[in-house]
Amino acid sequence: MYRNSELLEYLIKKYKLKNGMMIGIDLLNKISINENIKIKDLMCLLEIKNGIYSKLKNHRQKKTKIILGKYKKVLNKKIINVEKINIDELYDIKENTLFNELELINNFGISKYRYNKMKNDENYKVNIIDMKEKHKIDLMKIDFKFFEKYGNRYYKKEELSEQCKIRHTTLNDFVLYYGKNYKHYKFNKIQLNESEKGFWIGEENVSMPESFIVQNFNIIESKIKKLAKKISFQYNCQEFYEDFIDEAMENLMKFGNIVKSFYFNKDLIFNIIMIKEKFVMLHYYKKNKRNYIYLDSYEQQMIPRLKYLSDSKYDPQNLI
């Protein structure tokens, strides 16, 4: 299997893709539409960065080179298990390996922003991950999403182990890198070890089962209200209390995968949902706080309207 992906192997044969060939926005869009593959998944398959796709889409770049197998080098597992390193430790690794700095930060999943932050602050530490193994798991997830023989269902530990073996990775790495965030590892491990049905793999934003909402509506509503009250007081924005509740209730239907994954532990379901809802509320607060303050101040005539309209030097930051 080429690059540990059935789908990538299929695309390479059908569209005659080759390592090192130049590809433009027209062919990328054609593949995405014809095969019903999301652009973000296609970029992952072809190992094209999102920033490059953005340039192609906005016609700031005509073509980009396909370079498959960017994460070829096997990193020392002892290094990966360190989890966090600072700039001095990064330089120590460089001295004891054949990697240059660019190869190190790419293989450790360190962004250029964080790398520059490390250089400016010797005490600043970043998490490191094995990008070679993570990419294998990302390809595996896309295969599961694309082919009907996999689909949305529960997978027994033995079946996942076999799929990992075929793709030259391990079940532990699958559990470690399956989630969007490495912090999901502990939750993935709980599901793998405690779920009698198996490990749930499904599309993003699977709808919440109606039966779960009906049975637990009062509990969920109470928890959302408590969370909204806590955040509104913490950020001194009690005027957003009702809005927080509305936003959280609207997003509730998107968390079906959580119920599917942790059906065996209702308290865990509630806790994970509340973590998600907290970010929903904070995102709403961040998006609306300035507009709300401005409109409220304007209506209460706290801003001299004529001065605002005539003074080009007016700084809206003074409102906050």
pLDDT digits over 225-241, tens only?
999 999 999 988 999 99
CA dihedral of 126, 132, 138, 142, whole degrees rounded to 10 = 160
Helix and strand element counts for the chain (H, E): 17, 6
Q: What is the DSSP letter of 300?
A: T
How many distinct structural domains can be found in the chain?
4
pLDDT of 310 higher than 50? no
pLDDT of 219 higher than 50? yes
In this prediction, residue 245 has a pLDDT band, given cuts at 50, 70 and 90, of very high
Look up the pTM and report it. Answer: 0.77
Q: Verify that 254 and 188 share a domain, yes or no.
A: no
Q: Verify that 261 and 295 share a domain, yes or no.
A: yes
Mean pLDDT value of segment 55-81: 77
Q: Verify that 217 and 282 share a domain, yes or no.
A: yes
Q: How far apart are the C-alpha atoms of 42 and 278, rounded to whole Å?
A: 31
311 domain residue, yes or no:
no
Q: Cβ contacts of residue 251 below 8 Å, gap of 6+?
A: 276, 277, 280
Q: Verify that 119 and 140 share a domain, yes or no.
A: no
pLDDT of 155 higher than 80? yes
Q: Verify that 241 and 283 share a domain, yes or no.
A: yes
Predicted local distance difference test score (pLDDT) of residue 311: 38
Joined together, the tokens standing for residue 277 give 């809802």
Tell me the β-bridge partners of 22: 65
Q: Verify that 144 and 218 share a domain, yes or no.
A: no
| Helices within 121-209 (DSSP H only) | 131-146, 157-166, 171-177, 185-194
Q: Verify that 46 and 8 share a domain, yes or no.
A: yes
Q: How far apart are the C-alpha atoms of 83 and 86, rounded to whole Å?
A: 11
Measuring CA to CA, which residue among 219, 240, 220 is closest to residue 229? 240
Mean pLDDT value of segment 160-182: 89
What is the Cβ-side half-sphere exposure of residue 79, based on CA atoms within 13 angstroms?
A: 21
**Cβ pair 128, 83 in contact under 8 A:** yes
Q: Verify that 236 and 170 share a domain, yes or no.
A: no
309 domain residue, yes or no:
no
In this prediction, residue 74 has a pLDDT band, given cuts at 50, 70 and 90, of low
Q: Verify that 60 and 83 share a domain, yes or no.
A: no
Q: How far apart are the C-alpha atoms of 32 and 207, rounded to whole Å?
A: 25
Q: Verify that 83 and 160 share a domain, yes or no.
A: no
Predicted local distance difference test score (pLDDT) of residue 70: 78
In this prediction, residue 320 has a pLDDT band, given cuts at 50, 70 and 90, of very low
316 domain residue, yes or no:
no
Mean pLDDT value of segment 284-308: 54
Predicted local distance difference test score (pLDDT) of residue 94: 83
29 domain residue, yes or no:
yes
pLDDT of 306 higher than 70? no
**Cβ pair 248, 281 in contact under 8 A:** yes
Give the range of the structural domain holding residue 125, as residue numbers without chain letter. 77-129
**Cβ pair 87, 123 in contact under 8 A:** no
Joined together, the tokens standing for residue 57 give 């889409």
71 domain residue, yes or no:
no
* Torsion-angle region of 88 (φ positive above 0: left; ψ -120 to 50: alpha; else: beta): alpha
